[in-house]
Homo-oligomer: A and B are copies of this chain.
Amino acid sequence: MGKLNQLTKQKILSAAETVFHENGFQGARTTLIAKKAGVSRPMLHYYYRTKEDLFHEVLRNSFSFFLTHAQDAFSEETNVRLVINKLIDLLFEVLEEKPGLASFIMNILNENPALITSLSIIEKEQIPALFDKLLEEARDNNEIQSAISGENLLLNIYGLIVMPYLYAPLIRFKENRDENEMKMFLQKRKEDIKTFVWNGIKY
């Protein structure tokens, strides 16, 4: 049996990513995915038997993409402050590349958190622990005062970064900012977040 035009399969997966990111599992329509992929509906089911199969593939890819980038911050830098800045840079890049990813994750967290915990990538996730270690070192060196935990620090950073992406549609509507103004807003905000976070833990 065949089943192997990788290009078509990829087009479907890629369209699925966009649609699932924008609408979540329930809101997504396989018809729209097929259309965006430029492919007939039977083709979609030919490569991915069910909507669920397709969703799981997107889910795995998305989390892998997100976590891999986040982890990079810890391999590329060693000092807390630099790691934090790097992490913020990387996460902004991730969301710039996939703006729907933030709400996608929020959606799953809400709809079906068990889905996330079942991912093998998640089990290997060590970021809070890595942060704990760096924070402890920094406290020993009197670089920071705060007794914050790695988990809380990470939640803070996620919250600060993700917020504007969730909020973006509202800001756009309310203040009528065009895409370019939004980009500048986000660019500036990124730097603001860095100093905000640093001050937040320094004292």
Which of B110, B146, B158, B192 sits near A152, CB closer than 8 Å? Answer: B192
Instruction: List chain B residues, Cβ under 8 A from A167.
Output: 109, 155, 158
Asked, given contacts A174-B117, A192-B152, whether A166 binds B199 with beta carbons under 8 Å apart, the answer is no
Instruction: List chain B residues, Cβ under 8 A from A161.
Output: 159
Q: Is the interface of A mostly helix, strand, loop or mixed?
A: helix
Report which residue of A110, A122, A170, A193 has the largest number of chain B beta carbons within 10 angstroms of its beta carbon: A110
Q: How far is the CA of A173 from the CA of B41 in the complex (A)?
A: 36
Question: Is the CB of A23 closer than 8 A to any CB of chain B?
Answer: yes
Check B117 against A170 for contact (C-beta < 8 Å).
yes
Q: How far is the CA of A160 from the CA of B159 in the complex (A)?
A: 5
Q: Which 10 A-B pairs have the closest CB atoms?
A: A159-B163, A113-B169, A159-B159, A196-B200, A103-B110, A200-B200, A117-B173, A199-B203, A26-B27, A199-B199
Where the two chains meet, the residues of A that have a C-beta atom closer than 8 Å to any C-beta of B are 22-24, 26-27, 103, 106-107, 109-111, 113-114, 116-117, 122, 146, 148, 152, 155-156, 158-164, 166-167, 169-170, 172-174, 189, 192-193, 195-197, 199-203
Q: List 10 A-B contacts (CB under 8 A).
A: A24-B24, A24-B27, A106-B106, A106-B166, A107-B110, A110-B166, A148-B196, A159-B162, A162-B163, A196-B201
